[in-house]
Structures are given as structure tokens and as C-alpha cells.
Amino acid sequence: MSLSHPHPPVGGRVIEVGGEAPYAITVGQGLLHDGDRIAHALRGRHALLVSDSHVAPLYAQIVEQALHAARPDLVLARWVMPAGEQYKTLVQYGACLDALAQLGATRDACVIALGGGVVGDLAGFAAASWMRGIDCVQLPTTLLAMVDSSVGGKTAVDLPQGKNLVGAFHPPRAVIADTTALHTLPDRELRAGLAEVAKYGAIFDRQFLAWLERHSRDLLARDDAAMAEAIARSCEFKADVVSRDPYERGHRALLNFGHTFGHAIEAEQGYAGVGRDALNHGEAVAVGMVLAARLSTLLGLAPAEDATALESLLATLGLPVRLPERLAPAALLARMYLDKKADAQGLRFVLWGGAGEGRVVAGVPDDAVLAVLRTP
Ligand SMILES: NC(=O)c1ccc[n+]([C@@H]2O[C@H](COP(=O)([O-])OP(=O)(O)OC[C@H]3O[C@@H](n4cnc5c(N)ncnc54)[C@H](O)[C@@H]3O)[C@@H](O)[C@H]2O)c1
Ligand SMILES: O=C(O)C(=O)C[C@@H](O)[C@H](O)[C@H](O)COP(=O)(O)O
Ligand SMILES: [Zn+2]
């Protein structure tokens, strides 16, 4: 059953995600005001709006008013977590479950995640586990969440030992991305989202990398047309992969390009990504993609020019491309053994055969990983 809204968004796009539990990603301007569209995805009478301390003051009331107008009978509560990756924890997850209990959320209730990937992952995991699974609607407000985290149903919280170590696959019932929310997004967070956009080009489509190169200035200037195209293309790439491999039994793992390095960086520095001397997720993935491309070259899988070109594109997009000196290579390598792609045979990396050709590679020697981590 498709849940796509009967009316297309004005000036927007709808991308369908297939599979066992299909849903629509709607991208357009002003969608947070569209109470009918959000309410269309709700089945029961209870909903918990989950947001963070930066996003709630900006957008929560808009959503609440729109929903109350569309569904006057809705019992809607708000739960706000502190903003930041360092709060994507079991403690905050527990507090979110407390809010669902307080609301009296029944099995037909819905969690509405309003925010970036941190809110989306944590709220999604609360929805996945409350009464063994209730609905979740994703209202992404960062570029990264619009192009990646709100789509595909990976939900999780971090542990001090590693990223996203506790979670579940739980596809949303709908993804509704209001691109006007990007107007308040800090520049650094916009650039972090562009890292995941570039990832799609790196693993699937070298022409898309060339498009990003040509439009880098427009994207950094938040040009509406360039941004809409980048979001729609990214959602199409992701929808295609997760429709065919929702549980990462195969090629969905390609979406982890740069992440074995990136997650190790995030965990090793302690997750405090914004406002401190540490990388956020998109930035860590940017450094991780450069390292993955260099590792591919070292192993003879890909031309060195492609690694150089990717590094240059990411730098043009204002992203970091070098490992922070304070992070010790041996400590990062040790972190990688808790990566979710590792198995009894050891580490597996997503590398590439050159731009646009992501591939999963097993049996990468520790020495090669350390050599890449030690290269300035
Ligand atoms: N589930 C997945 O498939 C998936 C994919 C990619 C990333 N992730 C996860 O997503 C997280 C990163 O997400 P993120 O980059 O969105 O970070 P985030 O959620 O921390 O948001 C970044 C910052 O921007 C603020 N913010 C959000 N929207 C805003 C807006 N419109 N205006 C002003 N400020 C706003 C937030 O409060 C926060 O301070 C990581 O935990 C990562 O592991 C998950
Ligand atoms: O959707 C996916 O699959 C991804 O790998 C997308 C990644 O950008 C994202 O950061 C994801 O959360 C990483 O997954 P994990 O399984 O390595 O925790
Ligand atoms: Zn990611």
C-alpha cells in the first residue's frame, strides 16, 4: 500500500521507496505547515513530537498548529532532547520512552521526528521498540537528514564504544522534507550534509560528482534550484538501494563508504561534534571517504587521480579532508573492529574501483589501514 499523499507538493518532488513497507519521501517548500499531509500518515489518536533544543523553538509550534488544525482530536505531546551527537544515547532514548509512557501511547500511536539525523535516529529507535514497534514519521530539518538519515529505516543510538551500536531497522511511514527549514541551518551543518551527497556520486555515479563540482558554489550559496536537485537526486539514489536491500544483506553496505573510518573518528573523539574541536558526522565521513579512496589506491584497486579529485571536491565543498593529528592510528584501528560490517573473518571496508564504483572489500590487512592513517 502506498501512503503517498493525494496532492503533490507545490514546486516539490515525491520519491517512492519500495519494498515490504513502502512509503513516500516528499520534498518541497512549506511542508511543515501542511498539517493534512503530516496527519495523512497518522493512524491512531496519539502522537509524540520529538525534537531537539535548537529545532523545537524554530519549528515545533508550526507543526503542532498545523496538526491540530488538520486533526483536532489528536492527542499530541512534545518531547525535546538536548541538541548534539553527544546526546544520541541510551539515557536520552530512555527519556523518550518515558515520554511515550506519559502520553499513554497505544500501538497505533506515531512518533514524529522533527530535526536532524540525531533526532531522527533516536526517535526512530524509540518508535521501533515502543510496544515492539509503532509508526514513525520523519520531518528532517538538516540537509544531511533530508538526503540520507530520514530515509531507509536505520535507527540507533551510540555507545561510548562505538557509533549506532544499539538500534533497529524500522522504516518510517512517511518522510516529509520542508526545504525552507534549511534557511536557518548553520553553514557548517549544510556542508556536513554535502558530504553524504558527495558519497552517492563516489559510490554510484561519477557524473553526479562532476555535477557537484560544477554546482559547488551554488550549493554553498544555498541556491534553491541546485539544492532541490541535490536533495532529489540523493533521495533517488538512497531510495533505490534501500528498496532492494532494506536490511543491508548486500549492496546497501555501499552507503557506508567512508564510514568505517568516519565512525572510528567520531567514537574516538567522543562525539561532541558541534561547537567543540571535533568533527561532526558529515565531516568525519568526508575525511573517511578520502581515507577509503587512498586505501583503494594503496591496494591497487583504483587510480590515484580519482582519490585526488574526490579530495579536491570535498575541500571545495568546505569539508575537512585530513585526519586530525590528535587521533592515534592504532586507537582508530582498534575502534574499527566494532564496525557493523566486521564479522568472524575480520574487517570489511567499502572501497571503490574509482569514482562511481563503490565495492565491499574483505581481508584488508591492518598494515594497509595503518599506513593510510599515518600518511599526512
Ligand atoms: N539513519 C541513517 O541512515 C543515518 C544516515 C546518516 C547519518 N545518520 C546519523 O545522523 C546524525 C547526524 O545528523 P545531522 O548532521 O542532521 O546532525 P544533528 O541532528 O546533530 O543536527 C545538526 C545540528 O543542526 C541543528 N539543526 C537541525 N536542523 C536545523 C535547522 N533547520 N535550523 C537550525 N539548526 C538546525 C541541530 O540542532 C544540531 O545542532 C549522526 O548521528 C549520524 O550517525 C544516520
Ligand atoms: O543507510 C545506510 O545504510 C547508511 O549506511 C547511511 C549512512 O550514511 C549512515 O551514517 C548510517 O547510519 C551508518 O550505518 P551503520 O550501520 O554503519 O551504523
Ligand atoms: Zn552517514
DSSP assignment of 139-194 equals EE-SHHIIIIITSS-EEEEEETTEEEEEEEE---SEEEEEGGGGGGS-HHHHHHHH
Neighbour tally for 343: CB within 10 Å: 10
Closest to 60 (Cα-Cα) out of 81, 43, 42, 40: 81
- Catalytic-residue membership of 191: no
- Residue ranges covered by each domain of the chain: 13-184, 187-374
State the cell numbers at 241: 538501494
- Catalytic-residue membership of 170: no
Closest to 262 (Cα-Cα) out of 324, 200, 345: 324
Q: Is the CB of 252 under 6 A from ligand 2?
A: yes
pLDDT of 273:
58
- pLDDT mean over 79-100: 98
Task: Find out whether 33 is annotated in a ligand binding site.
Answer: no
In this chain, the answer to whether the domains covering 13-184 and 187-374 adopt an identical fold is no
**Rounded Cα–Cα distance for residues 126 and 130 (Å):** 6
- The CATH number of 187-374 is which of 3.40.640.10, 1.20.1090.10, 3.40.50.12160, 3.40.190.10? 1.20.1090.10
Non-local CB neighbours of 185 within 8 Å, separated by 6+ positions: 141, 142, 143
| Residue pair 352/301 in contact by the 8 Å Cβ criterion | yes
Grid cell 544483506 is found at 249
Q: Is the dihedral of CA 155, 159, 161, 166 positive or negative?
A: negative
Q: Which atom of ligand 2 approaches the CA of 256 most closely?
A: 5
pLDDT of 254:
98
Considering only 2-11, 258-267, 320-329, which range has the smallest mean pLDDT?
Answer: 2-11
Q: Helix, strand or coil for residue 271?
A: coil
**Rounded Cα–Cα distance for residues 149 and 139 (Å):** 11
- Catalytic-residue membership of 196: yes
pLDDT of 4:
53
**Rounded Cα–Cα distance for residues 156 and 167 (Å):** 4
* Chain segment 173-228, per-residue pLDDT in tens: 999 999 999 999 999 999 999 999 999 999 999 999 999 999 999 999 999 999 99
* Chain segment 104-130, per-residue pLDDT in tens: 999 999 999 999 999 999 999 999 999
pLDDT at 277 over 90: no
What's the 199 CA to ligand 2 centre distance in angstroms?
Answer: 12
Task: Find out whether 88 is annotated in a ligand binding site.
Answer: no
Q: Are strands 110-115 and 46-52 parallel, antiparallel or unpaired?
A: parallel
- The CATH number of 13-184 is which of 3.10.350.10, 2.40.50.140, 3.40.50.1970, 3.40.630.30? 3.40.50.1970
Q: Which atom of ligand 2 approaches the CA of 163 most closely?
A: 18
Q: Are strands 23-28 and 174-178 parallel, antiparallel or unpaired?
A: parallel
Query: Model confidence at 10, in pLDDT bands (50, 70, 90)?
Result: low
pLDDT of 211:
98
Chain mean pLDDT for the chain: 95
**Rounded Cα–Cα distance for residues 263 and 158 (Å):** 10
Choice among 132, 183, 249, 326 that is catalytic: 132
Cα 217 off chain centre by: 23
pLDDT of 351:
98
pTM of model > 0.90: yes
For 355, how many CA atoms within 13 A lie in the half-sphere containing its CB?
18
pLDDT at 11 over 70: no
Q: Are strands 154-159 and 162-169 parallel, antiparallel or unpaired?
A: antiparallel
| Residue pair 25/12 in contact by the 8 Å Cβ criterion | no
Choice among 5, 54, 170, 281 that is catalytic: 281
CA angle (214 as vertex; 216, 186 as ends), nearest 5: 10
- Catalytic-residue membership of 326: no
What Cα–Cα distance (Å) separates residue 132 from each residue in 113, 173, 191?
A: 18, 16, 36
Query: Model confidence at 272, in pLDDT bands (50, 70, 90)?
Result: confident
| Residue pair 103/46 in contact by the 8 Å Cβ criterion | yes
Q: With pLDDT > 90 as the criterion, what percentage of the chain qualifies?
A: 94
Closest to 282 (Cα-Cα) out of 188, 154, 187, 196: 196
